Amino acid sequence: MYDGKILSGPYSSGLKESLLSSIAHFKALEGAGSPIIPYIAAWLPEGGDIWYEYAGTRLRELLGFRTTEVAGALRDNILSRCLYRIQEKPPGIDKIIRDKEQITRLRKVMRRVAERGGGIDAVYKFSANGRPLWLKDLARIEIHDRDRIVLSYGTLIDVTKEMQLEETLFEVQHELEFHKVNLESLVEERSRELSRAHLDVLARLTQATAFRDGSTGAHIKRLSRYCAVLGDSFGLSKRALEIIFHAVPMHDVGKIGIADAILQKQGPLSHDEFEIIKTHCRVGSDLLSKGKSTLLKVAQSIALNHHERWDGSGYPQGLASRQIPLASRITSICDVFDALASERPYKKAWSFEEAVEEVWDLRGKYFDPDLVDLFMKNIPRIRRIYRETPAG
């Protein structure tokens, strides 16, 4: 039974004859019991709905509708579509459209692609009476310019079993991907926890030593923030700033090995006492030397070098200018500045302005002149930190 439009429409006899012979050929194919479901679809080059000139009887059985209803039924029941690459071996999936809305939106585009490519190689998923039905579609496109019509001679084959297997594989793969992502975030969370624990231990160690020489937790907090401002202004990366921020508090851990009588002495230190104080750099560096993390390595370097001076008059190694690692050059400015602006057992706190002036005076003597310039440029930020974290 013919349900199409061309044979009774205003089309050329050539087109009608070719269509009739194709239908006869397809019917013979079906009669021979071929599992292939042939069809002939048609549409106008300027667009509009697709219709079917012929659709194999098995398609009607599978989907339960007449040829005139094929287009609408296919459109209404389509669930997804995989467009396969044309003329490539082995054919790989080029595009998977898993959403019905997307199919509707892309229908015109896909039709144009098929026209240009001269064929269709796709797999569609339908809902057939509530059950999934997968059909593989292989079609040849003919554009009949004179008749202003496009014909698609195609064959469908039921690939439901194969595609269900593929879907299962896809789901398994998807699940594996999900677990992989989950595992990664779990590992990340775990290492975040570890580094939190790591920082916590370090903070406690730092606190234990910080109070011994009369400096306070507030000194350490301000110092970290001053150093971060200076490092940021210098152009250090976020990661480097984070490391400096957490490493700087450990600069004086070596004081753990120095007697309270010297550390907390009110009044000037004797030459010998000062020599003992100086050992805190090496003691601190030794304490931190076994660390494998970048954080501990930087902390060790700062502990060792934070009393070096730009002009080479510092200790313990008498390093000068850029021989002194950058993190230590940053720390020494901020450490001296904050020590001046804070009260200690042996001295009163200098005013903010006096401390800034001293830093400026020591430019090129104790401190890296470029870093002092950056320090001056950032006075508003430094002042904010100074106000937010009260001296003590």
Please, which residue, 119 or 249, has the CB nearer to Fe ion? 249
C-beta of 158 vs 252, nearer to Fe ion: 252
User: CB of 225: closest distance to Fe ion in angstroms?
Assistant: 14
Our finding on whether 308 is near Fe ion (CB under 5 A) is no
CB 20 within 8 Å of CB 156: no
CB nearer to Fe ion: pick between 152 and 328: 328
- Which range binds Fe ion by CB under 5 A, 43-51, 196-204, 245-253, 342-350? 245-253
- Cα–Cα distances (Å) from 203 to 194, 208, 252, 332, 379, in that order, read 14, 9, 12, 20, 27
d(CA 11, CA 142): 15
Tell me which stretch binds Fe ion (CB under 5 A): 52-60, 68-76, 246-254, 352-360. 246-254
Other CB atoms within 10 Å distance of the CB of residue 314: 21
CB 326 → Fe ion: shortest distance, Å?
17
* The two three-digit tokens of residue 311, written as one number: 């002009």
Nearer to Fe ion, 132 or 217 (CB): 217
Count of positions on this chain that bind Fe ion (CB under 5 A): 2
List binders of Fe ion among 318-347 (CB under 5 A). 335
Find the binding residues for Fe ion in span 73-112 (CB under 5 A).
Answer: none
Half-sphere exposure of 271 (CA within 13 A, CB side): 0
The answer to whether 80 and 103 are in contact (CB under 8 A) is yes
Span near Fe ion by CB under 5 A; candidates 33-41, 197-205, 229-237, 247-255: 247-255
Structure tokens at 266: 């009110």
- Quick one: 6 or 303, whose CB is closer to Fe ion? 303
Rounded least distance, CB 298 to Fe ion, Å? 16
Q: Quote the least distance from Cβ 277 to Fe ion, whole Å.
A: 8
Nearest approach, Cβ of residue 202 and Fe ion (Å): 16
Are β-strands 37-44 and 47-55 bridged in parallel, bridged antiparallel, or unpaired? Answer: antiparallel
CB 332 within 8 A of CB 339: no
Please identify, using beta-carbon distances, which residue of 137 and 308 lies nearer to Fe ion.
Answer: 308
> Is the dihedral angle over the CA atoms 286, 369, 214, 258 positive or is it negative?
positive
Which stretches within 127-236 are classed as H helix? 160-210, 217-234
Closer CB to Fe ion, 18 or 317, in the complex: 317
Tokens of 154: 């195609």
Site string for Fe ion, 134-173 (x = CB under 5 A): ----------------------------------------
Minimum gap (Å) between residue 252 Cβ and Fe ion = 4
Cβ-based nearer residue to Fe ion, 62 or 333: 333
| Among residues 252, 295, 342, 375, the one that binds Fe ion under rule CB under 5 A | 252
- CA-to-CA distance for 315 and 289, rounded, in angstroms? 18
Say if residues 337 and 372 touch (Cβ distance below 8 Å). Answer: no
Can you state the percent helix, strand and coil of the chain, rounding each to 5? 60, 15, 25
Q: Which residues bind Fe ion (CB under 5 A)?
A: 252, 335
